[in-house]
Amino acid sequence: FAGQDTAHADSVLQGETATIMFQGTRVLVEQIESDGFKSQVYFNPQGAKHHAMRSHSSGFCVFNDHAWAAQHFAAQGLKVAYLDWDAHHGDGVEALTKRSPQILTASIHQHGIFPGTGNRSMQKYNALNYPLFAGDGDAELVEAVEDALYAIHDFEPDVLLVAAGADGYTADPLAQLEYTLDGFIEA
């Protein structure tokens, strides 16, 4: 990056990092397919860039890997459920998948913080939202997860994608949720 300004160099490095992170999801999807969709758990620690939109990045998310994976599976005729518990609404996944009747999204998040969306569910789009309030903790998280799981069960998906965000933890400075390790384990 010699001779280039620092902002440009940072932008290029962020783009390369985002591309590498997205490749982890792509490889994982290929592995799921090659395994014949066995009932197994697959894990991508870099995944769930749930704010990225079709035309722009948002909230530190450049590529929306879960929306891509959901659309990829739906294009094969599979039903996909996406469960997201994060302090922030999974707005990008919801926006990118809500036109597909084969995809259900469920987002558990704090009301009123970035991105300011997800205040209500949109049943006709299979978009369920569980906006929690500042100070809500483990009981509210678990109740919302249980409610979402009932809806997911009724939807009868072939694939379940989960984005398990940690920013609802009681000490996170960007949110005012009060989840504990015990609450995450129960969820």
Can you spell out the DSSP letters for 2-21?
TTS-HHHHHHHHHHHHHHHH
Q: Is 51 a catalytic residue?
A: yes
Residue 110 · residue 140 · CB < 8 Å: no
Between strands 127-132 and 103-110, the pairing is: parallel
Spatial distance between the Cα atoms of 133 and 118, rounded to a whole number of angstroms:
12
Q: Which of 8, 50, 51, 153 is catalytic?
A: 51
Burial class (CB in 10 A: 0-12, 13-18, 19+), 133: exposed
> Rounded CA gap, 141 and 115, in Å?
19
Any idea which residues carry the catalytic annotation? 51
